[in-house]
Amino acid sequence: MFHLILAACLASAPTNCGIILLPQGDAATQQACEAGAARIAQEWLEAHPELVGDAPACPANVDLPAADLQEVAPGVHVNLGTSLQMEDSTDGHIANLGAVIGRDTVAVIDAGVSRAEGQALYTAIRRITDKPISHLIVTHMHPDHSFGAAVFAEAGAVVLGHHALPQALEGRGAAYLANLTQLYPPAEWIGTEIVLPDRVVGDRMQIDLGDRILELRAWPPAHTDNDLTVFDRQTATLFAGDLLFRELTPVVDGSLRGWLEWLDSDPAAGARFIVPGHGAVTGSWAEASGPQRIFLEALAGETRKAIDAGQPMSSAVPEITKALEPLKKDWASFEATVARDATVAFQELEWE
């Protein structure tokens, strides 16, 4: 397969450039790609007036950067992110991303932190299959999972998310996007935009990829207030999104109590493969959730202790952070995350 690409630069800062892949331009031959290239590129640039583009080109799939996909179960492919927080990473490619290939179509689970990461995932999927990508399932609002969505929307995927996702992205998306441009060089974020879901999941929803059912489930506030999980019936694979952290320090951005309740609800019942939002895939619920449970219970316990002692938040947060120090050896990007978690936990638990 050949892909239509375009060098694009900020109209306001023309030395800030990146490569844009336009999936509408995919073709079986270079000649067929080139035949439509100018028109497709021009239409896309007209819809993105903040960018100026160079002449389009049609390289072969193999010549483009692609995410590393591993098949963890038949037809279930996972790209493992680097277990670091975004501030500690050079490109923000920190979240686990997935693709499930059905008889007729493909579903993508999370799109990465930027258009560049979404494109690398798209290119990797196109190395495996040319079936249509019917769905992009966004597990929650955080940019490392959601900001690569545009390339899949342009490829024709219906974008699905939790019923609270639109409001969350409308509230926080602009700040996330500004942060992305501060953290990484322009080639990493050019063309990145916020994509709201086309359809939302109220409680549960099933999608069919052709003889392959995925069960989507929207959860009450836990990691965030818009967490969605995906279960592939055919292989009993659970994509937990950031309801499960392994290796990377868990981020509390919804409800600590709600998250502990989620862990208690046996959410992976029947799963043979568990894909966390960060860290390695495992078949064991105890292995997937045990260290996170220890972390969250310690966070809740130390926070309640500080609140019961009548401490104000300003002194409680460093004290909670210090008390959790013995857990540091198990987790990446520990200090900064724990200080934020302690703040969120204090604000939630002081009203108990």
Residues 140-169 that bind Zn ion (CB under 5 A): 142
Spell out where 28-102 has E strands: 51-53, 70-73, 76-79, 97-101
Q: Strand 106-109 to strand 199-201: parallel, antiparallel, or no bridges (unpaired)?
A: unpaired
Residue 254 beta carbon to Zn ion: minimum distance, rounded to whole angstroms: 9
String marking each residue 85-124 x if it binds Zn ion according to CB under 5 A: ----------------------------------------
* Burial class of residue 178 in the structure, from the number of CB atoms within 10 Å of its CB (0-12 exposed, 13-18 middle, 19+ buried): exposed
Q: Which is nearer to Zn ion, 183 or 190 (CB)?
A: 183
Q: Which is nearer to Zn ion, 188 or 242 (CB)?
A: 242
Q: Which of 259, 273, 192 is nearest to 227 (CA)?
A: 259
**How is residue 282 annotated by DSSP?**
B
Q: Which is nearer to Zn ion, 115 or 142 (CB)?
A: 142
- Per CB under 5 A, the segment of 183-191, 205-213, 234-242, 310-318 that binds Zn ion is 234-242
CA distance 60 to 67: 16
Residue 95 beta carbon to Zn ion: minimum distance, rounded to whole angstroms: 7
Can you spell out the DSSP letters for 91-116?
Answer: S---S-EEEEE-SS-EEEE---SSHH
* Residue 180 near residue 91, CB atoms below 8 Å: no
Residue 22 beta carbon to Zn ion: minimum distance, rounded to whole angstroms: 28
Q: How far is CA 237 from the centre of its chain?
A: 17
246 part of the interface to Zn ion, by CB under 5 A: no
CA distance 278 to 285: 15
Residue 84 beta carbon to Zn ion: minimum distance, rounded to whole angstroms: 14
Residue 313 beta carbon to Zn ion: minimum distance, rounded to whole angstroms: 23
Residue 15 one-letter amino acid = T
Q: Which is nearer to Zn ion, 85 or 134 (CB)?
A: 85
- Per CB under 5 A, the segment of 54-62, 69-77, 235-243, 267-275 that binds Zn ion is 235-243
Residue 245 beta carbon to Zn ion: minimum distance, rounded to whole angstroms: 8
Backbone angles phi, psi at 234, to 5 degrees: -65, -40
Q: Which of 263, 278, 254, 279 is nearest to 340 (CA)?
A: 254
Please, what is the end-to-end C-alpha distance for the chain in angstroms?
A: 58
- For Zn ion, how many residues bind (rule: CB under 5 A)? 2
Residue 140 beta carbon to Zn ion: minimum distance, rounded to whole angstroms: 6
- Per CB under 5 A, the segment of 56-64, 74-82, 107-115, 136-144 that binds Zn ion is 136-144
- Per CB under 5 A, the segment of 20-28, 96-104, 239-247, 293-301 that binds Zn ion is 239-247
How many residues does the structure list for the chain? Answer: 352
Handedness of CA 45, 46, 47, 49 (dihedral sign): positive
Using alpha carbons only, give the angle 1, 94, 133 rounded to the nearest 5 degrees. 35
Q: Which is nearer to Zn ion, 26 or 227 (CB)?
A: 227
Q: What is the largest CA-CA distance in the chain?
A: 72
341 part of the interface to Zn ion, by CB under 5 A: no
- Per CB under 5 A, the segment of 39-47, 73-81, 123-131, 237-245 that binds Zn ion is 237-245
Q: Which is nearer to Zn ion, 89 or 123 (CB)?
A: 89
Residue 197 beta carbon to Zn ion: minimum distance, rounded to whole angstroms: 16
Residues 211-230 that bind Zn ion (CB under 5 A): none
* Residue 331 near residue 248, CB atoms below 8 Å: yes
Residue 277 beta carbon to Zn ion: minimum distance, rounded to whole angstroms: 6
242 part of the interface to Zn ion, by CB under 5 A: yes
Q: Which is nearer to Zn ion, 155 or 238 (CB)?
A: 238
Site residues (vs Zn ion, CB under 5 A): 142, 242
